[in-house]
Amino acid sequence: MTVTDELLANNAAYATHFRGPLPLPPSKHVAVLACMDARLDVYRVLGLNEGEAHVIRNAGGVVTEDEIRSLAISQRLLGTTEIILIHHTDCGMLTFTDDAFKADILADTGVKPAWAAEAFDDIEADVRQSLRRIESSRFITATTSLRGFVFDVATGRLSEVTA
């Protein structure tokens, strides 16, 4: 039995208490962009209920073309206007460099990825960089609030990153 099988059994239990469907557009008009880190349960960290906010996540919580795609769809088709960025302490992205990571992949597979790994060595600086990438996108035009935070994996608390 795989972990996937175990999680499917959890889902069967979840479905017995589930009440749906809710409407498609997020009722709080918020999109959250956060790191994929396992310790960051975005709904619990922000007290979100089902149906309230889009949740976009990737390694680092960084902003690449695909996050611009998701945010553009979120704003233009589903009416979100506030954006919350979340990086966190003890992030895996602090533990390597793009060059070393891609050299390892090249050594293992014979192919060097054409994409950036987006490693960083300063959490707050990378939150600011992510804010700047969103601000500078021509495709993200409905934003009424854009703020970035660092989640502390020791305390559970969000700290705002100021410009």
Of residues 72 and 128, the one with the C-beta less far from its own copies: 72
- Cβ atoms of residues 79 and 23 within 8 Å: no
Min dist. Cβ of residue 153 to its own copies (A): 4
Query: Judged by CB under 8 A, does residue 79 bind its own copies?
Result: no
Identify how many contiguous H helices and E strands the chain contains and give both numbers. Answer: 5, 5
Report the site for its own copies in 39-58 (rule: CB under 8 A): 39-41, 43-48, 50-58
CA distance 139 to 159: 28
Counting residues that bind its own copies (by CB under 8 A) gives 91
Give the helix ranges, DSSP H, for 50-141. Answer: 65-78, 98-109, 123-135
Q: Show the site string, 21-40: x = touches its own copies by CB under 8 A, - = not.
A: xx-xxxxxxxx----xxxxx
Orientation of helix 123-135 relative to helix 65-78, angle to 10°: 50
Q: Work out how close the CB of 149 gets to its own copies at its nearest, in angstroms, rounded to a whole number.
A: 8
Q: What are phi and psi of 42, to 5 degrees?
A: -55, -40
- When binding is defined by CB under 8 A, the residue of 136, 141, 162, 163 that contacts its own copies is 141
Closer residue to its own copies, CB minimum distance, 79 or 132? 79
> Of 97, 122, 126, 138, which one interacts with its own copies (CB under 8 A)?
138
